[in-house]
């Protein structure tokens, strides 16, 4: 017995085009991620992940909750939200977030384990004092991977998707960064990654970034996710496409 029905409709040479905004994905979160937090409630339940129910732990001051995002002031150091994942000397992982900032000065840590040069670690930083508001993934001992100019809107207060993928092994490190739906950037080198000290977790915001490099201002986060594998640039673009739909459904344009 056939489960399909053939309709008597024929349109030669015409293929349907479905707008991305008309696509409603079966899941509202990244089901293959280790964890994915979509900040869509105005209370602490928003810190419970959608995949494995992992909790983001506030280092000190809890975030401020809004309907579709949370806000943190990441100065001084130690005001981030921590996952339960330790940094590794040979990480194979991916982090992504949807972020909004309003400052035009200083450097701002977005996620990761980045500390001082003596402490090590790595993560993504926004350089808010340059015209392009460049995003770059900095990891002690490994060269920096910088977003391409076309990837970064030079507008304060605009929501941005940013993702960083790390595939580090002895003498072979691949670092990828994507901001928005641009081309992204991939860098490979032979440096040795200086991981964060034992006990330091991967986190959202600027949990360990040195206070001297952070200005005082509010940063908003609409979502945050971690994969326990290094995604390719094509994978990162697919996550961005799904994030764009998720955010649009919540009134956030990225």
- Report the candidate in 36, 44, 101, 34 with the shortest Cα–Cα distance to residue 73: 101
| Mean pLDDT of the region 183-198 | 89
Separation CA 93–CA 229 (nearest Å) = 4
Separation CA 63–CA 92 (nearest Å) = 28
Structural domains in the chain, sorted by start: 53-249 (2.60.120.200)
Q: What is each CA distance from 45 to 21, 29, 68, in whole angstroms?
A: 28, 16, 13
- pTM, two decimal places: 0.86
pLDDT band at 151 (very low <50, low <70, confident <90, very high): low
pLDDT for the residue 70: 95
Token duo for residue 163: 């993702």
Residue with the bigger pLDDT between 27 and 70: it is: 70
Query: Do you find a cis peptide bond into 76, omega within 30 degrees of 0?
Result: yes
| Mean pLDDT of the region 159-187 | 90
Separation CA 9–CA 75 (nearest Å) = 62
């Amino acid at each position: 017995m056939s489960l399909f029905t053939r309709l008597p409709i024929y349109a030669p040479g015409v293929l349907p085009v479905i707008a991305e905004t008309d696509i409603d994905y079966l899941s509202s979160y990244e089901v293959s991620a280790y964890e994915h937090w979509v900040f869509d409630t105005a209370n602490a339940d928003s810190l419970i992940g959608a995949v494995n129910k992992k909790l983001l732990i506030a280092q000190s001051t809890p975030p401020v909750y809004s309907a579709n995002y949370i806000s943190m002031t990441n100065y001084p150091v130690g005001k981030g939200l921590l996952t339960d994942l330790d940094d590794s000397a040979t990480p194979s992982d991916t982090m992504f977030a949807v972020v909004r900032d309003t400052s035009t000065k200083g450097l701002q840590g977005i996620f990761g384990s980045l500390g001082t040069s003596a402490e090590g670690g790595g993560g993504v930083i926004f350089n808010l004092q340059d015209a392009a508001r460049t995003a770059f993934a900095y990891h002690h001992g490994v060269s920096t991977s910088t977003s391409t100019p076309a990837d970064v809107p030079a507008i304060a207060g605009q929501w941005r998707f940013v993702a960083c993928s790390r595939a580090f092994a002895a003498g072979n490190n691949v670092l990828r960064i994507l901001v928005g739906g641009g081309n992204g950037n991939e860098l490979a080198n032979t440096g040795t990654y200086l991981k964060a000290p034992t006990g330091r977790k991967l986190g959202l915001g600027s949990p360990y970034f040195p206070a001297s490099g952070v200005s005082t201002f509010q940063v908003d986060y609409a979502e945050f996710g971690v994969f326990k594998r290094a995604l390719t640039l094509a994978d990162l673009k697919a996550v961005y496409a799904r994030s764009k739909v998720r955010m649009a459904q919540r009134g956030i344009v990225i």
